[in-house]
């Protein structure tokens, strides 16, 4: 399940980056903001997974 969560985080980061760049390219501040939000959501999910990995016994 952790690999699935990590993949989902990467997907959110990528989609957010695309939306942010597209919004910037066309001058759409709303799309740009949605992209930043989605990218941040992916960053938080990735950080959560890193923390879970650090806590797990090896």
pLDDT for 1 equals 57
State how far the Cα of 44 lies from the Cα of 7, in Å rounded to an integer: 13
Residues 6+ apart with CB under 8 A from 13: 39, 42, 43, 46
Could you tell me what percent of the chain has a pLDDT over 70? 97
Joined tokens for residue 26: 């066309």
Band of pLDDT at residue 2, cut at 50, 70 and 90 = confident
């Amino acid at each position: 399940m952790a690999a699935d969560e990590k993949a989902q985080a990467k997907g959110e980061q990528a989609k957010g980056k695309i939306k942010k760049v597209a919004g910037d390219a066309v001058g759409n501040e709303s799309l740009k903001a949605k992209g930043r939000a989605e990218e941040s959501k992916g960053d938080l999910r990735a950080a959560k997974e890193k923390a879970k990995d650090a806590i797990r016994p090896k």
